[in-house]
Structure 1
Amino acid sequence: MPSENENPEIIKRMIGPYINGFSLRIFIFLLDYVPGLASFLFWDRISALRKLNLDECPTNFPLPLPKEYFGIEETKKVEGLEIFEENESAQQNYSSGFLCSSDFRKAYLTKKATPLQICEILIGKLEGSLKCNPSLNAIIKYEREDIIKQATASTTRYANNCSLGPLDGVPIAIKDELDVEGYETNVGTSFINRGFIAKTDATVIERLREKGAIIIGKTSMHEIGIGITGNNPSVCTSRNPYNIDHYTGGSSSGSASAVASGLCPIAIGCDGGGSIRIPSAFCGIYGLKTTFGRFSSKGELPLAPTVAVSGPMTASANDLALAYYVMAGKDEEDPNTYYQPKPTLSGLYNTKDLSDLKIGIYTAWNKQVYNPTITLALNNFIEKLKLLGANFVEIDIPELEEASIAHLLTIGSEISTFAKKYKENFHKYNCESRLNMSLFHFATASDYIISQQLRTRLMRSLSNLFNKQVNLILTPSTAITAPKIYPNSLKYGEADLKTVSEVMMYVTFANFSGIPAVSVPAGYDDNNLPIGLQFVAKWFDEATLLRIAKVSEEILGDKRKRPSNDYWFGDLIQD
């Protein structure tokens, strides 16, 4: 690792003791009697925030308004789902054995298999994934009869030559943060909404169903989304298919595990502080955090309403684009979606000439990785992108350290406020969740306002950057690969601020500013654990992110490999 002088910390690592097992339980017991005990773990960072002298008005929701100021334009050419049929010859399978929606689609159209046959086999694999030792704990709630009902309807549509399009009959799993008709929405807890069955789907899930997608169940998550590993003693801890002794990342942990293990080609997650991109990076899949306001939040529990958005997690770049386009767009029941330009897939298959792209690199920041193989993967991608004509620009993003503090304070305050609604059951939150929430109990209203003022400043800086210098920013997705699971942490959880800061190093500025970002697979470290890289674009420019994800898929090519622990059934539908 470079010396401190060679590698100045743009974002400082948080420092604190590693605590797990029964020791963590004792620490939580002390917290109940000494309320301010945890504040020293975060005090130096919030003190730095309080020293700022800001004149900006606070921005509470990171909507890019006015359009003229933030450089957002209506897309003149709108390309929708027809792009997949028009470019079928361009959809070369770079997924190295991962199943994609197009594999299911082709099998159904050629009568090689039916959705009903596939889902009957899939149910057996879901059962097997929960019975193995240790359990994969990816899709933890499913209803056999409901899956069969959906699959039967899809099979009938194909038999009558009236399918609903490229998602018809494709199995999709949903993070337990979104309402799905017929399921509880427990957000990774043992008690929230227990016994309350959702009667309707969240808007984004409803849109997937309208295109024939088969919703196969709910995925596990870090309790109330206040963690980045997926460790959840309250319900279950999902396992990384590349190495079951390592975490999947969180909080959309089960969604990443489900896709990487082959249980489904698409899963839906939510991202308030990297919660889609972190597990996507750790599990070697694609994950898109959309622009704030691009997807409707109706039916999504408001854990962190000013930073969190839902998004797709997929085995392929094509499916990332497909799921995005189906889920995106205005919703009359969510005012935050009113301001967006029309979603588009324009340029998705323009992957051979990148001379129109300027990609920003913040070298000093990118050097803050703690696994050198991540740097090797980053440099390899930079060289390959240059060969395709991409132009690279050295950039600076001011006050990233302060912005990371402000984001943590914002998301921590919002999740803690949500959690207090269930104060009569507060003791049921696991030890790690209670510790993480306690870090923000001493924050003041003034601290929150200062954070939102800093959000305004960050958005202006990024707006100027995208309008005048670059189309994209490239960083690692995380500063480390998937952390190891220590057995002592499974019962009570763990507290590890150092790992938290290393995992969240590059992701939070996109949540705080509302801009979109994508994590793409970029190779593997010396322990065969996946490496992810992150591209970030301006507000509502998901089309460019999807295009660069497709380029990245072609760069990795046949070097991508399936995990050692998978439930692949491609021999049933692939030629």
Structure 2
Amino acid sequence: MTSKTEINHDQEITRRLDLPYMSGLPLRFLVPLVEYVPGLSSYFFSNMGISTLRNKSFKEDATLMPLPLPKELFGIQEPMKIDGLEIFGHQNKEHSPTQEIQKFLCARDYTEAYLAKRVTPLQVCKKLIDNINQSCSEECDPPLYGIYQYHQHDIMAQAEASTSRYNQNRSLGPLDGVPVAVKDEIDVIGYETHVGTSFLNRGKPATEDAFLIKKLKDQGAIIIGKTTMHEIAFDITTNNPNTHTCHNPYNTDHYCGGSSGGSACVVSSGLCPIAVGSDGGGSIRIPSAFCGIYGLKPTCGRVSSKGDFPLFNSIGVAGPMAACVDDLALAYYVMAGKDSEVSWNRQVVDPAITSALQTFINELKSLGAKFIEIDIPELEDARIAHLITIVSELCTTMNGYKEYFHLLNPPNRLNIATYNNVNVSDYIKAQHVRTRMMRNVSNVFSEVNLILTPTSAITAPPIYPRALKYGEINSLVTSNGMMYAQLANFIGIPAITVPAGYNDKNLPIGLQFMAKWYDESTLLRVAKVSEEILGSKRRKPSEKYWFGDLL
């Protein structure tokens, strides 16, 4: 929790970022004006409040990658061992999960069914393909559109190989035969990595798996396809006219969040228990919160970026999204590791969110947790610096594809035209802020183990039909959606979102825990306790949008 002065401060931020909502033809007609009329893009840029760092000076050195090394600066060293599986088999007698609590199929359910010979991976995947087809068909009205690309022959080939292993009693482990979906910015052999666009890698399927995908396949996971994402990951809704906009299984009049919206959609609708997302400003945690599942943004550098499309190199990281905490831990444990080459309550939010937050605080207190009020200085500078960093890195990448800009959705054409006004000095100053914020937060973690906030200041925003053809610009939704998420990306610390309840529209509410660098194991343990706190109050989507009856 924070002081009243900070709350008022952030309300001023929100007012400044409350630019006009735009969608439909007005947005489409505005874009070429901003691209070609001199001075118009800089006018939009000046209204974003980004230039406020230009008049400040910083004595700290710039930190270009948020890794807390050397130890003498931040007091933290990277552990040699990745600790993630210690929570398996966790049983607290007073808070023991029951079959009623666990409404979603998890990896354990699949492997137990395979080992008992009740069903084979081949039988499961035949039914899964039918469910994917149905989830993307007009029969659903509206279709979910969580899966964007899938190759039936490839799914069946993987399922046949897994079935053969089980028949020969040589299972590869707890992921063998378990369906896993992958965000469309991560390479999978045989799939084109479109990054949500209509032009990137068209006709050029990946010839090599991303490093993390190879690790999943080595454990027998069945990759079932690519998930829908926001075009070039440049917002938090997954409104995408190129690929269809995915709909929230809990209330299809609302978004799934983004940019990993499709990955959240397929897990929450039961199509698969685990999906891979990526997170540069909340893109795992926000859709996980909006869709009522678990999502982990690992420490910067924990998961190899080899095979990921390079959107935001210094703040983005791939991570798992899952229906249950054990699967989140399992997927993280498998995905994490280096390859040989790369290696607060800040403003008034939805009352349902604050109510869920207080409920969790009370429950955690009853289990022995202690809560203290903390103050993280200079959060507004950090917000601006994160924005400068993410847009600079994304625009730098996309400026290599200028000949295709006319194929981008109108909101992203407008974004790129506006944010190309960021200069080198802005970027360097942002990295000075990063050093300062890493030290500020390191000091906080000398007093506490975890920081608890809402995952987002809002629940899943509504989908306006007029926004589906050309996209939309909604800066207030973007700002409020990312408010609590972006700090973890900027300074490289791990963060996790857990389901915490639902509002009166049946939209899920998520809460976020942040931990110090490399302390994912503490996040997974508190997520396990949080899973038990929500208990039988956890809901599945309506039967129409539930595709999880695979066993």
1:93 to 1:397, Cα distance in 2 relative to 1, 3 A: farther
What is the aligned partner in structure 2 of residue 403 from structure 1?
Answer: 382
Does 1:114 pair with 2:114? Answer: no
Does 1:25 pair with 2:28? Answer: yes
SS at match of 1:10: helix
Matches within 5 A, 1:269-418: 269-335=277-343, 362-363=344-345, 365=346, 368-418=347-397
Does 1:49 pair with 2:25? Answer: no
Give the Cα separation in 1 of the matches to 2:115 and 2:411.
48
- The answer to whether the 8 A contact 2:7-2:348 is kept is no
1:404 to 1:82, Cα distance in 2 relative to 1, 3 A: closer
Which stretch of the first structure deviates more once superposed, 429-438 or 119-128? 429-438
Does 1:530 pair with 2:538? Answer: no
Give the Cα separation in 1 of the matches to 2:144 and 2:403.
32
- After superposition, what is the alpha-carbon deviation per residue over 1:427-468, rounded to whole angstroms, capped at 9, x for unaligned? 0001011112222121111111110110010011111111x2
Amino acid at match of 2:61: C
1:260 to 265, 268, 293: 268
User: What are the ranges of 5 or more consecutive residues in structure 2 without an aligned counterpart?
Assistant: none
1:70 to 62, 67, 74: 74
- The answer to whether the 8 A contact 1:256-1:280 is kept is yes
1:42 to 1:375, Cα distance in 2 relative to 1, 3 A: farther
**1:93 Cα deviation from its structure 2 partner:** 5.1
Does 1:460 pair with 2:468? Answer: no
- After superposition, what is the alpha-carbon deviation per residue over 1:57-110, rounded to whole angstroms, capped at 9, x for unaligned? 111111110134433356598766586479799775575421111110111111
**1:326 Cα deviation from its structure 2 partner:** 0.5
2:428 to 444, 449, 457: 449
Give the Cα separation in 2 of the matches to 1:377 and 1:86.
24
SS at match of 2:136: helix
Give the Cα separation in 2 of the matches to 1:101 and 1:68.
41
Q: % of aligned pairs identical?
A: 58
**1:29 Cα deviation from its structure 2 partner:** 2.4
Q: Given the two structures, how large is their TM-score scaled by the length of structure 1?
A: 0.90
Aligned pairs, how many? 539
2:250 to 242, 245, 257: 242
- The answer to whether the 8 A contact 2:68-2:77 is kept is no
Which stretch of the first structure deviates more once superposed, 509-518 or 30-39? 30-39
What is the aligned partner in structure 2 of residue 205 from structure 1?
Answer: 213
Give the Cα separation in 2 of the matches to 1:55 and 1:282.
40
2:231 to 211, 219, 223: 223
**1:328 Cα deviation from its structure 2 partner:** 0.8
- The answer to whether the 8 A contact 1:137-1:236 is kept is yes
What is the aligned partner in structure 2 of residue 355 from structure 1?
Answer: none
Which stretch of the first structure deviates more once superposed, 293-302 or 127-136? 127-136
**1:42 Cα deviation from its structure 2 partner:** 4.1
Give the Cα separation in 2 of the matches to 1:514 and 1:569.
34
1:475 to 1:120, Cα distance in 2 relative to 1, 3 A: same
**1:502 Cα deviation from its structure 2 partner:** 0.7
- The answer to whether the 8 A contact 2:238-2:256 is kept is yes
SS at match of 1:25: helix
1:519 to 497, 517, 538: 497
What is the aligned partner in structure 1 of residue 105 from structure 2?
Answer: 99
- The answer to whether the 8 A contact 1:268-1:312 is kept is yes
Give the Cα separation in 2 of the matches to 1:97 and 1:34.
55
In angstroms, what is the RMSD of aligned CA positions?
A: 2.0
Which stretch of the first structure deviates more once superposed, 172-181 or 13-22? 13-22
SS at match of 1:99: coil
What is the aligned partner in structure 1 of residue 400 from structure 2?
Answer: 421
**1:475 Cα deviation from its structure 2 partner:** 0.5
What is the aligned partner in structure 2 of residue 345 from structure 1?
Answer: none
Amino acid at match of 1:59: T
Amino acid at match of 2:147: I
1:502 to 1:107, Cα distance in 2 relative to 1, 3 A: same
Amino acid at match of 2:8: P
- After superposition, what is the alpha-carbon deviation per residue over 1:322-354, rounded to whole angstroms, capped at 9, x for unaligned? 00000111211213xxxxxxxxxxxxxxxxxxx
1:47 to 1:423, Cα distance in 2 relative to 1, 3 A: closer
Give the Cα separation in 1 of the matches to 2:432 and 2:7.
29
What is the aligned partner in structure 1 of residue 42 from structure 2?
Answer: 39
Matches within 5 A, 1:83-94: 84=88
1:454 to 1:233, Cα distance in 2 relative to 1, 3 A: same
What is the aligned partner in structure 1 of residue 136 from structure 2?
Answer: 130
1:556 to 534, 538, 545: 534
Amino acid at match of 1:123: I
- The answer to whether the 8 A contact 1:10-1:400 is kept is no
SS at match of 1:518: strand
Amino acid at match of 2:425: S
Amino acid at match of 2:9: E
1:95 to 1:288, Cα distance in 2 relative to 1, 3 A: farther
Runs of 4+ aligned structure 1 residues displaced above 6 Å come to 85-91
- The answer to whether the 8 A contact 1:143-1:217 is kept is yes
Give the Cα separation in 1 of the matches to 2:261 and 2:415.
18
1:92 to 1:41, Cα distance in 2 relative to 1, 3 A: farther
Give the Cα separation in 1 of the matches to 2:81 and 2:151.
41
- The answer to whether the 8 A contact 2:87-2:326 is kept is no
Give the Cα separation in 2 of the matches to 1:151 and 1:251.
29
Amino acid at match of 1:442: N
Amino acid at match of 1:559: K
- The answer to whether the 8 A contact 1:57-1:456 is kept is yes
SS at match of 2:276: strand
Give the Cα separation in 1 of the matches to 2:80 and 2:478.
42
